[in-house]
Amino acid sequence: MLTLRRSAERGHADHGWLQSFHSFSFADYHDPAHMGVGNLRVLNEDRIAPGTGFGTHGHRDMEILSVVLDGALAHQDSMGNGASRDRAVDKADGVIRPGDVQRMSAGTGVLHSEFNHQADRATHFLQIWVVPSRRGIAPGYEQKHFGTGSRRGRLVLVASPDGAEGSLTIHADARLHIGMFDGAERAERALDPTRIAYVHLARGALRVNGQALQAGDALRLDGEPALVLEDGAAAEVLVFDLAP
């Protein structure tokens, strides 16, 4: 079964400095029909205005992934990871840029902040929360780069429970692939019909199992034998393999 949800159906919050679109219920947006998919609890598309960001705040018992699409996001946390305001140009100091994926395991509790220090450019990124398989683990942090070449015309595993294929290790029964598709580029992969596949198109246009998706659209696949991605136009897509 295929369940399509258009971008315009998502929740939206305008905070001035932050424009946020919520795929699932989050903060002041509540929709009982969209509380998450499987163990995927949050998928927010955020745009942070220049010189602004999220001040220090806390999380616990959640696996949090950040995927930057454009701009840069400077991270600091209570584990000692991150970028100071005057050293935000240094990638090693916790700045996330396009191609980077960050994993923060909140576990027993962590404080962090996220800022766009650029003076003239918004930061566009995806914030993803996955419910962990076990509560009360030690907090952790990991960041890796997945270059455009590796994602071109194929799906690359960027997060998994076992760190397979050089992916980030998350403490949850979930896998995230990211791919980029244009023109004749095509990918097909078998699906486990006992699990949930959830496709979110971050940008561009793409046909997924015959369904035409535009940026911000999502497609849930239940009991489908295969996933087919084709007819892309500057598409960047996220594919989740989730516990039901």
Which of 1, 15, 21 is closest to 201 using CA atoms? Answer: 21
89 pLDDT higher than 70: no
pLDDT of residue 112: 81
Contact 123, 73 (CB under 8 A): yes
- In percent, how much of the chain has pLDDT > 90? 78
Q: Which domain holds residue 190?
A: 2-242
pLDDT of residue 55: 79
Digit-coded pLDDT (tens) for 177-187: 999 999 999 99
What CATH number corresponds to the domain at position 128? Answer: 2.60.120.10
235 pLDDT higher than 50: yes
* Mean pLDDT, the chain, whole residue set: 92
- Predicted TM-score (pTM) of this structure: 0.93
Sequence-distant (6+) residues with CB within 8 A of 20 are 12, 13, 44, 45, 46, 47
Angstrom CA distances, 200 to 16, 75, 214, stand at: 25, 24, 10
Digit-coded pLDDT (tens) for 40-88: 999 999 999 999 988 778 889 999 999 999 999 988 778 877 755 444 4
With cut-offs at 50, 70 and 90, classify the pLDDT of residue 93.
low
**Could you give the CA distance from residue 93 to residue 105 in angstroms, rounded to a whole number?**
18
Mean pLDDT of 10-15: 96
pLDDT of residue 83: 58
CB atoms closer than 10 angstroms to residue 44 = 21
Digit-coded pLDDT (tens) for 119-172: 899 999 999 999 999 999 999 989 999 998 899 999 999 999 999 999 999 999
209 pLDDT higher than 60: yes
- The number of domains in the chain is 1
